[in-house]
Structure 1
Amino acid sequence: MDRKAEINGLNYLLAAHFAPLALDELVVSRRDFPHWMRPDLQTALEGLFFALPNSRFFGARLRNHDFAFRLSDLAEAGDGIVAGPAEYQEVEIGEAQSIRCLTRGLWLGERDGVRFAVLLDVHDGYRGVRARLEIGVGPGEIPARVAAQIADELRTQAGSGASWRGKILTLEAAHDDFDVVPAGLRVEKAAPVRREDIVLPEETLALIERNTLGFAQRAEQLARLGLSARKGVLLYGPPGTGKTLVVRWLAGALDGYTKLIVTAGHYGLLAETFEIARALQPALIVLEDIDLVGGHRDGPWAAGGSTLNMLLNEMDGLAPEARMLFVLTTNRPEVLEPALAARPGRVDQAIEIGLPGEAERCLLVKRYAGGLRVTEGLAADAAGTVGRVSPAFIKELMRRAAQAMLERGGDQALESRDIERAMADMLGAGGRLGARMLGAESTIGFVNAA
Structure 2
Amino acid sequence: MPETKDEVLRPETIFERAETFADAGRNDQAVAVLTELLATDPENASALRCRGRYLMNLGRRRAALDDFNTCLQIQADDATLYGDRGIALSSLGLFDEAEADLSKAIACEATNGGLHLWRGYTRGQLGRHDEALADFIVAEELDYEVQTLAQNRARVYLDLNLHDLAADEFQRAADHGDDRSTYLKNLAETCSRAGRLDEAVAAIGEALRLDPADNSARRLRADLMERLRRLTDAQAERALADDLYHLLESSNGRKRRTRERQTHQLLRSHFDTHEVDDLIIHSRAFPPRVRADLQRGIDQFATGDIELVQLTDVKTRHSHETITLTDVMSEDRYDPATTFPASFEDIDIGEETPVSCPRRGLYLFRQGATPFVLLITPPPRHGCEIQVKVQIAVPPTEEGERTANHFLNCLKQAVHQSTCYRGKIISLESKDSYTGEAVGIRVHRLRPTEREDVILPERTLRQLDRNIVEFVQSRSALREAGFSGKKGVLFHGPPGTGKTHTIHYLATHLPRHTTLIISAEQVGLLSDYMTLARMLSPSLVVIEEADLIARDRDQSGHAFQEVLLNKLLNEMDGLTAEAEIVFVLTTNRPEVLEDALKSRPGRIDQAIEFPKPDADCRRRLVRLYSGRLNISDEVIDCAVTRTEGVTASFIKELMRRACQVRIKRSADDALLIEDVEAAVEELLSADDGLSRNLLGGAVSRGDSGESNTGIESGVD
TM-score strictly above 0.5: yes
Counterpart of 2:582 in structure 1 is: 325
Distance in 1, matches of 2:258 and 2:469, equals 60
Structure-2 change in CA distance of 1:146 and 1:408 (3 Å): closer
Corresponding residue SS for 1:430: helix
Corresponding residue SS for 2:511: coil
Of 605, 612, 621, the match for 1:364: 621
Q: CA deviation at 1:262?
A: 1.8
Counterpart of 1:263 in structure 2 is: 519
Of 47, 72, 75, the match for 2:326: 72
Q: CA deviation at 1:151?
A: 0.7
Counterpart of 1:393 in structure 2 is: 650
Structure-2 change in CA distance of 1:14 and 1:393 (3 Å): same
Q: Is residue 206 of structure 1 aligned with residue 459 of structure 2?
A: no
Corresponding residue SS for 1:436: helix
RMSD (Å) for aligned C-alpha atoms: 2.9
| Equivalent position amino acid for 2:285 in 1 | D
Counterpart of 2:362 in structure 1 is: 106
Of 253, 273, 284, the match for 1:31: 284
Counterpart of 1:13 in structure 2 is: 266
Distance in 1, matches of 2:418 and 2:348, equals 14
Structure-2 change in CA distance of 1:157 and 1:376 (3 Å): same
Counterpart of 1:279 in structure 2 is: 535
Distance in 1, matches of 2:700 and 2:367, equals 77
Q: CA deviation at 1:91?
A: 1.4
Distance in 1, matches of 2:360 and 2:676, equals 63
Of 379, 404, 420, the match for 2:677: 420
Distance in 2, matches of 1:4 and 1:312, equals 61
Q: Is residue 96 of structure 1 aligned with residue 324 of structure 2?
A: no
Q: Is residue 245 of structure 1 aligned with residue 501 of structure 2?
A: yes
Counterpart of 2:304 in structure 1 is: 51
Distance in 1, matches of 2:595 and 2:576, equals 22
Distance in 2, matches of 1:430 and 1:129, equals 54
More deviation, 169-178/209-218: 169-178
| Equivalent position amino acid for 2:590 in 1 | P
Contact kept? 1:116, 1:137, Cα under 8 Å: yes
Summarize deviations over 1:261-303 as a string: whole Å, max 9, x none: 2223433332222222222211111111122222223205666
Structure-2 change in CA distance of 1:414 and 1:114 (3 Å): closer
Counterpart of 2:488 in structure 1 is: 232
Of 540, 556, 562, the match for 1:305: 562
More deviation, 232-241/288-297: 288-297
| Equivalent position amino acid for 1:294 in 2 | A
Distance in 2, matches of 1:324 and 1:272, equals 15
Distance in 2, matches of 1:54 and 1:362, equals 64
Summarize deviations over 1:203-248 as a string: whole Å, max 9, x none: 2112111111111112122222221111111111110001111001
Structure-2 change in CA distance of 1:48 and 1:385 (3 Å): closer
| Equivalent position amino acid for 1:73 in 2 | D
Counterpart of 1:376 in structure 2 is: 633
Q: CA deviation at 1:57?
A: 2.6
Contact kept? 1:57, 1:105, Cα under 8 Å: no
Contact kept? 1:127, 1:182, Cα under 8 Å: no
Q: CA deviation at 1:37?
A: 2.5
Q: Percent identity?
A: 36
Distance in 1, matches of 2:465 and 2:338, equals 59
Specify which structure has the bigger relative contact order, considering alpha-carbon pairs within 8 angstroms and separated by 6 or more residues: 1
Distance in 2, matches of 1:356 and 1:301, equals 34
Distance in 2, matches of 1:149 and 1:328, equals 42
The two structures have a TM-score, normalised by structure 2, of 0.57
Structure-2 change in CA distance of 1:419 and 1:95 (3 Å): same
Corresponding residue SS for 2:470: helix
Counting matched residue pairs gives: 447
Distance in 2, matches of 1:300 and 1:123, equals 37
The two structures have a TM-score, normalised by structure 1, of 0.89
Corresponding residue SS for 2:310: strand
| Equivalent position amino acid for 2:294 in 1 | L
Summarize deviations over 1:319-344 as a string: whole Å, max 9, x none: 21111111111111122222223322
More deviation, 66-75/188-197: 66-75
Summarize deviations over 1:370-413 as a string: whole Å, max 9, x none: 34444334433432333311011112122222333333447344
Distance in 2, matches of 1:88 and 1:431, equals 53
Distance in 2, matches of 1:311 and 1:322, equals 16
Q: CA deviation at 1:66?
A: 1.9
Q: CA deviation at 1:123?
A: 1.9
Counterpart of 2:95 in structure 1 is: none
Distance in 2, matches of 1:440 and 1:300, equals 30
Distance in 1, matches of 2:546 and 2:271, equals 56
Contact kept? 1:107, 1:119, Cα under 8 Å: yes
Contact kept? 1:301, 1:335, Cα under 8 Å: no
Of 468, 477, 487, the match for 1:221: 477
Q: CA deviation at 1:182?
A: 2.5
| Equivalent position amino acid for 2:323 in 1 | F
More deviation, 47-56/90-99: 47-56
Corresponding residue SS for 1:255: coil
Contact kept? 1:287, 1:327, Cα under 8 Å: yes
More deviation, 90-99/372-381: 372-381
Corresponding residue SS for 2:554: coil
Q: Is residue 448 of structure 1 aligned with residue 702 of structure 2?
A: no
Q: CA deviation at 1:119?
A: 1.5
Summarize deviations over 1:137-170 as a string: whole Å, max 9, x none: 3457664444223211221123311122212222
Contact kept? 1:128, 1:182, Cα under 8 Å: no
Corresponding residue SS for 2:700: coil
Corresponding residue SS for 2:541: strand
| Equivalent position amino acid for 1:77 in 2 | E
Counterpart of 1:135 in structure 2 is: 392
Distance in 1, matches of 2:384 and 2:693, equals 41
Q: CA deviation at 1:117?
A: 2.8
Corresponding residue SS for 1:329: strand
Counterpart of 1:296 in structure 2 is: 552
Contact kept? 1:372, 1:414, Cα under 8 Å: yes
Q: Is residue 168 of structure 1 aligned with residue 425 of structure 2?
A: yes
Counterpart of 1:403 in structure 2 is: 660
Structure-2 change in CA distance of 1:5 and 1:161 (3 Å): farther
Runs of 5+ consecutive residues of structure 2 not aligned to the other structure? 1-254, 708-716
Contact kept? 1:424, 1:447, Cα under 8 Å: no
Corresponding residue SS for 2:431: strand
Distance in 1, matches of 2:434 and 2:268, equals 40
Distance in 1, matches of 2:311 and 2:631, equals 68
Contact kept? 2:260, 2:339, Cα under 8 Å: no
| Equivalent position amino acid for 1:131 in 2 | V
More deviation, 301-310/430-439: 301-310
Structure with more of its chain in helix, by fraction = 2
Summarize deviations over 1:64-94 as a string: whole Å, max 9, x none: 3423111222232125212221121111222
Structure (1 or 2) with the larger CA radius of gyration: 2
Distance in 1, matches of 2:384 and 2:352, equals 29
Of 149, 152, 157, the match for 2:409: 152
Distance in 1, matches of 2:701 and 2:424, equals 44
Corresponding residue SS for 1:123: coil
Q: Is residue 344 of structure 1 aligned with residue 601 of structure 2?
A: yes
Q: CA deviation at 1:251?
A: 0.8
Runs of 5+ consecutive residues of structure 1 not aligned to the other structure? none
Distance in 1, matches of 2:563 and 2:556, equals 17
More deviation, 126-135/55-64: 126-135
Distance in 1, matches of 2:389 and 2:307, equals 24
